[in-house]
Chain A
Amino acid sequence: MTLANKQLAAGWLFLTPATILIFIMSFYPIIQAFITSFKTGKGVNIQFANPLTYNYSRMLQDVIFKTSMKNTFLYLIVEVPIMLILAILLAQLLNNKDLKFKGLFRTAIFLPCATSLVSYSLIFKSMFATQGLINTVLMNLGLIHENINFLGTASTARAVIIIALIWRWTGYNMVFYLAGLQNIEYSVYEAAKIDGANGWKTFWNITVPLLKPTIVMTAIMSINGTLQLFDESVNLTSGGPANQTITMSHYIYNQAFGQGVGNFGYTSAMSFVVFIMVAILAFINLKVGDTRD
């Protein structure tokens, strides 16, 4: 073999394991899910449905599925913008050259990310319990006269999930913005200062545009993550009260391996819908964030 050929072969060899794994672990299953979504039956006794779209029409009438979709989108619309704006703001403040104790602040704000999803779900579940810390504090401050059943009421339970999500993920996104900011030359800011731009103007006209690729990346990651919420729904509220906080992933899991057990055709149809949603949102994001215009 010539030297050039050897290099060519080596190049392909380096990416072979990763490529094969992605094809077997992502692309093959998603095609499989698409095919299965047209079948009905339980467990291994599964065959093509008549009509083929049976699972999809069932979904349209499934009240719990609709609720799970509404919940997931509510979490998405409320949580992602608050979290990302907060993360950029924190990163911007921490990027100040004159600021002291930077490391301390950064570590503290990132720390929630070091806890597992199940762990923090249980911490929030305990703090917001009817006989829990938050109720006790509110009571002692005289703000409430009887304990609030945070997790037993649909609206407050959803709010707790959103608060928990913001707590867990803001620091994670902040780290990416901090890294992005460090790649911006300090002289750009100096020049802006000389031109008389104030903090707010600098933020909008320099920081945000230069961070655009990072913003797109974190937005895609967050949207992706929120559409797939599972641990919080399972462990914080168990989807309750009465499925009022259940997420799509949680309901799909229940139908496949939980209470529904073995509804693989129906589950595949639902998960294919989740896939389409993720794909559309990611696509929009990429288009909006395309800097080559």
Chain B
Amino acid sequence: MIQRRLIPTYIFLTICSLISVFPLYWMFAAATNDTVSVARGSIAFGNQLMVNFEHLKAAVQGTLWSSMGNSFLYSIVQTVFTLFVCSIAGYGFELYHDKGKDRLFGILLLAMMVPAVATMVPLYGLVSKAKLLNTVWAFILPGISTPFMIMMFRQNSRNFPPDIMEAARIDGLPEWKIFFKMYVPIQKSIYAAAAVITFMNAWNAYMWPKVVMSDNRAQTMPMFIANISSGYTVDYGMTMLGVLFCSLPTMIVFFVLQKQFAEGITGSVK
């Protein structure tokens, strides 16, 4: 039974939900319509999906699938490296903490204040000197280690009882095995949350890839759809289909890991 006093809450939440979802619904609908119907304001589904798809493929001489593939490759590699590097750091900072490590943690947090745009030019120099332009390394290097991720893992490590470590040590388990055999399995939800955030950020990255992935064959999905829509005449149906392609993977990742994501976040704001 819906309680009567909550009716205003339901109404407010419904309005907010509709506003949230509508532009995404519209994206789906527009992807199936031709430009004229989109411009006329049609919000019903049309029958132009395949036509738009042909336009999309033709618009950029076959780079649709390669940018899709690149985005998957870069995002997955980024996620794997980030999860590994930041989780061992968060674990080390929390469970082996002493004065020196706490001080180092404080220094690392300062990196949160360094905006991406401020490091863009020097990092570009670094990456090009190392001959890494247009490689997956250029894409992932600046994003692997972030204070936010380390902090998230550190906060969550508080759930891990140090007694277990002592017991494991008495049984003769080496330190790295304690991490892999005991820490990782019980921290699944935080790994899921961190994976969702990292994958989404990597998939959506735009400014940095625009700088270091200038080769057409190295471009990502966001670069791809930004390119197809930058012309003077805009084909709305085609553009929205591109936008849809670019959004689906992150939406799927979010839906699949939604529950663990919420749990992981809860652990990290304690």
A residues apposed to B, CB below 8 Å: 3, 6-8, 10-15, 17-19, 21-22, 24-30, 32-33, 36, 90, 93-94, 96, 98-100, 104-105, 107-120, 122-127, 129, 131-133, 136-137, 140, 167, 171, 175-176, 178-180, 182-183, 213-214, 217, 220-221, 224, 227-228, 230-231, 234-235, 248-249, 252-253, 256-257, 264, 267-268, 271-272, 274-275, 278-279, 282
Is B120 a contact partner of A96 (Cβ separation < 8 A)?
A: no
B residues apposed to A, CB below 8 Å: 2-3, 6, 9, 12-14, 16-21, 23-24, 26-27, 30, 38-41, 43, 85-86, 88-89, 91-93, 95-96, 98, 101, 104, 108, 110-126, 141-142, 144-145, 147-148, 150, 169, 175-176, 179, 200, 203-204, 206-207, 210-211, 221-223, 225-226, 229, 234, 236, 239-240, 242-243, 246-247, 250-251, 253-254, 258, 262, 265-266, 268-270
Given contacts A108-B20, A275-B113, contact A123 B121 (CB under 8 A): no
Is B19 a contact partner of A26 (Cβ separation < 8 A)?
A: no
B20: chain A residues within 8 A (beta carbon): 108-109, 111-112, 167, 171
Closest to B144 in A: A21
A227: chain B residues within 8 A (beta carbon): 115
Is B92 a contact partner of A256 (Cβ separation < 8 A)?
A: no
Is A33 a contact partner of B121 (Cβ separation < 8 A)?
A: yes
Rounded to whole Å, the gap between the CB of B89 and the closest CB of chain A is 4
Given contacts A15-B88, A228-B116, A256-B120, contact A167 B19 (CB under 8 A): yes
Is B117 a contact partner of A231 (Cβ separation < 8 A)?
A: no
Main DSSP-derived SS at the A contact region? helix
For B16, give its contact among A11, A33, A109, A230 (CB under 8 Å).
Answer: A109
Q: In the complex, A133→B41 CA distance in Å? A: 4
Rounded to whole Å, the gap between the CB of B211 and the closest CB of chain A is 6
B114: chain A residues within 8 A (beta carbon): 26-27, 29-30, 275, 278
Is A253 a contact partner of B207 (Cβ separation < 8 A)?
A: yes
B176: chain A residues within 8 A (beta carbon): 10
Q: In the complex, A137→B39 CA distance in Å? A: 11
Given contacts A96-B9, A231-B207, A271-B117, contact A118 B269 (CB under 8 A): no
Is A224 a contact partner of B123 (Cβ separation < 8 A)?
A: no
Given contacts A25-B119, A29-B123, A271-B115, contact A126 B239 (CB under 8 A): yes
B142: chain A residues within 8 A (beta carbon): 25
Is A98 a contact partner of B119 (Cβ separation < 8 A)?
A: no
Is B207 a contact partner of A18 (Cβ separation < 8 A)?
A: no
Is B6 a contact partner of A230 (Cβ separation < 8 A)?
A: no
B19: chain A residues within 8 A (beta carbon): 167
Rounded to whole Å, the gap between the CB of A24 and the closest CB of chain B is 8
A94: chain B residues within 8 A (beta carbon): 13
Is B108 a contact partner of A22 (Cβ separation < 8 A)?
A: yes
Is B203 a contact partner of A116 (Cβ separation < 8 A)?
A: yes
Is A93 a contact partner of B13 (Cβ separation < 8 A)?
A: yes
Closest to A112 in B: B20
Is A275 a contact partner of B118 (Cβ separation < 8 A)?
A: yes
Is B113 a contact partner of A15 (Cβ separation < 8 A)?
A: no
Q: In the complex, A180→B144 CA distance in Å? A: 26
For B113, give its contact among A3, A110, A235, A279 (CB under 8 Å).
Answer: A279
Closest to A258 in B: B210
Q: In the complex, A24→B108 CA distance in Å? A: 12
Q: In the complex, A282→B112 CA distance in Å? A: 9
Q: In the complex, A183→B265 CA distance in Å? A: 11
Is B41 a contact partner of A234 (Cβ separation < 8 A)?
A: no
Is A22 a contact partner of B147 (Cβ separation < 8 A)?
A: yes
Is B269 a contact partner of A26 (Cβ separation < 8 A)?
A: no
Rounded to whole Å, the gap between the CB of A70 and the closest CB of chain B is 17
Is A7 a contact partner of B122 (Cβ separation < 8 A)?
A: no
Pairs A–B under 8 Å by Cβ, sample size 11: A22-B111, A27-B110, A27-B111, A98-B3, A109-B20, A113-B254, A114-B247, A137-B41, A179-B265, A249-B117, A279-B113
Closest to B104 in A: A19
Q: In the complex, A86→B36 CA distance in Å? A: 36
Is A36 a contact partner of B226 (Cβ separation < 8 A)?
A: no
Given contacts A118-B222, A182-B266, A230-B117, contact A126 B141 (CB under 8 A): no
Rounded to whole Å, the gap between the CB of B122 and the closest CB of chain A is 4
Q: Assuming A36-B121, A271-B119, what are 10 further A-B pairs, CB within 8 angstroms?
A: A7-B96, A14-B88, A15-B93, A26-B114, A30-B118, A114-B251, A115-B243, A122-B239, A140-B41, A256-B124
Of the listed residues A10, A29, A249, the one surrounded by the most CB atoms of chain B closer than 10 A to its CB is A29
For B120, give its contact among A117, A182, A271 (CB under 8 Å).
Answer: A271
B265: chain A residues within 8 A (beta carbon): 175-176, 179
Closest to B200 in A: A114
Is B121 a contact partner of A264 (Cβ separation < 8 A)?
A: yes
B150: chain A residues within 8 A (beta carbon): 18
Closest to B239 in A: A122
Is B175 a contact partner of A18 (Cβ separation < 8 A)?
A: no
Is A268 a contact partner of B145 (Cβ separation < 8 A)?
A: no
Is A267 a contact partner of B39 (Cβ separation < 8 A)?
A: no
Is A123 a contact partner of B250 (Cβ separation < 8 A)?
A: no
